[in-house]
Structure 1
Amino acid sequence: MRDPTMKDIIQVKNISFNYSGQPLLFDGLSLDVHEGEWLALIGQNGSGKSTLARLIDGLNVLKKGQIFVDGLLVSDQNVFDIRNKIGMVFQNPEDQFVGATVEDDVAFGLENRQIDREKMHQLVKTSLENVNMWEFRDRIPANLSGGQKQRVAIAGIVALSPKIIILDEATSMLDPQGRQDILDLVRQLKEKNHLTVISITHDIDEAASADRVIVINKGQKIDEDIPGKIFSNTEQLARIGLDAPYTAQLIAALKRRHFDLDKEYLDREGLIAWIKQLVSTK
């Protein structure tokens, strides 16, 4: 549940945008991101999720409307201040690597900010330790596994102390265990550093662990709520080409067979516990 004392760290106000020569992708879109929450943006490929992230970070320019990040209007004048508040982790971490070694890569952003060398070395060490990659500091980033590359990318961002981390399909190239490891890591860093996290994904299971979910389809916000409410509406998800999480599908099947389940949605652990209780009473 949202802390009522928390502000909206991102405000998207009635924005319109289109790529050159293309029809409007967004036409009057508005949404807010609450400070300290984990927000999942879900939708099919091409629905506008990644474009929205680029607009928030000032990488694309609005046709109409306004976006505020931590009280600053996204504009040419504020773009560098805004980017200091946001760390983006992309689908392919190799696109972010610039250093010859893991340690050099994490240090790159700090060098650009002209951080004192002694402080910089300590920040690099702490950031790599936080993602369990300090022992790989002398390795070439391109030679790491997919999950290790994402850990290094995250370390480079955390070293810069952003307020917001945006995961732009950041786990889509990983196997299920690697995906879960990265999500667990980001959640730990979120709590430790009081971050706001935006997860842009078409992975429904990833979105199911968020605090709140916004559903985007063809550039329009069609729903927003806690995961339980979003994923209990399996018919709406199907209409826009998204699968419901397996647990939601199983709950729907049980209800069709007249099992008395008083929850609209349960995560995997909760559903297993409910089934065990059901079996024990038979």
Structure 2
Amino acid sequence: MTNIVTVSHLSFEYPDEHVVFNDLSLNVKQGEWLAIIGQNGSGKSTLAKLMDGLLEPAGGQIMVSGLPVDEEHLGAVRNQIGMVFQNPDNQFVGATVEEDVAFGLENRQVSREQMGPIIEDSLKAVNMLDFRERIPANLSGGQKQRVAIAGIIAVRPQILILDEATSMLDPRGRKEIISLIQTLKQQEDLTVISITHDINEAAVADRIMLLNNGQLVLEDTPDKVLNNPELLKNDGLDVPFASQLAEQLRKAGVSLPDQYLNDEEVIKWLVKLNSKM
């Protein structure tokens, strides 16, 4: 696969002289789901903002779809990227759901005749068409995220960045949004970059990058990263209960599948194992 995002020798620090990155390099492959994990302060969200040009690096270069992320190309770069933030309320600008989805299209000077079908298709894709006349602020957390995603897919980006987009949702809401993104990724041929603390969200990715103090500690498949509790603990991350249980079972001589198992999958596997005894 070709690289759709290339980060080369990136450096960045905040005005208080807090250095976040010093010579960071990484690639995002076109069409993949990349999860970026790390403890608070590791640089995950800062990296997302640098990719979208919301922050300016002190040194190095970021390329998106062959374009440098700089003042000259910023408009073209942002046309390639859609971002969903932790709190969707910060993204809403329309008085109704329909008007909010229309906002990005209006900025791109899409005609009213063309806009109607695009808005309808986008809201259908996230199962929010029946809410088109509702006020966004009155929706549930999961519904708000669906509307935010609809506004992004309406403008057909190549890259979708989820910046802790499921962290304010309950477990059911997180599961629904992750499932929705999986479907949209396949339908729209999206590249997904997921900035997350949620291990189950990271588990659906094709590849995981682990950041610590602005350094790329590790990049590997979810199975290799999430089945390594010691690695997660050493980098200040919570180890999922399922991983802790699986580790203890393996130490006890129980043979488990190599792939990462979430809570539900571990329970199903134990029930199946028990039925054979």
Query: What is the TM-score with the length of structure 2 in the denominator?
Result: 0.96
Aligned residue identity for 1:164: I
C-alpha separation in 2, matches of 1:184 and 1:265: 17
Aligned match of 2:71: 76
Say which is worse superposed, 254-263 or 220-229, in terms of deviation.
254-263
C-alpha separation in 2, matches of 1:265 and 1:185: 21
C-alpha separation in 1, matches of 2:261 and 2:143: 31
Aligned match of 1:251: 246
Aligned match of 1:261: 256
Aligned match of 1:235: 230
Structure 2 counterparts to residues 42-121 of structure 1, below 5 A: 42-121=37-116
Displacement after TM superposition at 1:270 (Å): 5.0
Displacement after TM superposition at 1:262 (Å): 5.7
What is the DSSP-based 3-state SS (H/G/I as helix, E as strand, rest coil) of the residue aligned with 1:265? Answer: coil
Per-residue CA deviations over 1:205-260 (Å, capped at 9, x if unaligned) read 21112111000111111011000000121111101211223322111010221223
Displacement after TM superposition at 1:116 (Å): 1.5
Structure 2 unmatched runs, 5+:
none
Distance 1:92 1:262, change over 3 A: closer
Distance 1:84 1:254, change over 3 A: same
Distance 1:82 1:257, change over 3 A: same
Is the 2:200–2:262 contact (alpha carbons within 8 Å) kept by the matching residues of 1? no
C-alpha separation in 1, matches of 2:73 and 2:126: 30
What is the DSSP-based 3-state SS (H/G/I as helix, E as strand, rest coil) of the residue aligned with 1:107? Answer: helix
Displacement after TM superposition at 1:280 (Å): 3.5
What is the DSSP-based 3-state SS (H/G/I as helix, E as strand, rest coil) of the residue aligned with 2:157? Answer: coil
Per-residue CA deviations over 1:104-135 (Å, capped at 9, x if unaligned) read 11001111111111111110111011111111
Query: What is the TM-score with the length of structure 1 in the denominator?
Result: 0.94
Aligned residue identity for 1:11: T
1:200 matches 2:190:
no
C-alpha separation in 1, matches of 2:8 and 2:168: 32
Aligned match of 1:3: none
Which residue of 158, 181, 206 corresponds with 1:186? 181
C-alpha separation in 2, matches of 1:45 and 1:11: 24
What is the DSSP-based 3-state SS (H/G/I as helix, E as strand, rest coil) of the residue aligned with 1:25? Answer: strand
Displacement after TM superposition at 1:23 (Å): 3.1
Aligned match of 1:13: 8
Aligned residue identity for 2:191: T
Is the 1:87–1:164 contact (alpha carbons within 8 Å) kept by the matching residues of 2? yes
What is the DSSP-based 3-state SS (H/G/I as helix, E as strand, rest coil) of the residue aligned with 1:22? Answer: coil
Count of aligned pairs: 277
Is the 1:251–1:265 contact (alpha carbons within 8 Å) kept by the matching residues of 2? no
Structure 1 unmatched runs, 5+:
1-5
Is the 1:96–1:153 contact (alpha carbons within 8 Å) kept by the matching residues of 2? yes
Aligned residue identity for 1:179: R
Aligned residues: CA RMSD? 1.4
Structure 2 counterparts to residues 216-227 of structure 1, below 5 A: 216-227=211-222
Aligned residue identity for 1:130: A
C-alpha separation in 2, matches of 1:227 and 1:109: 34
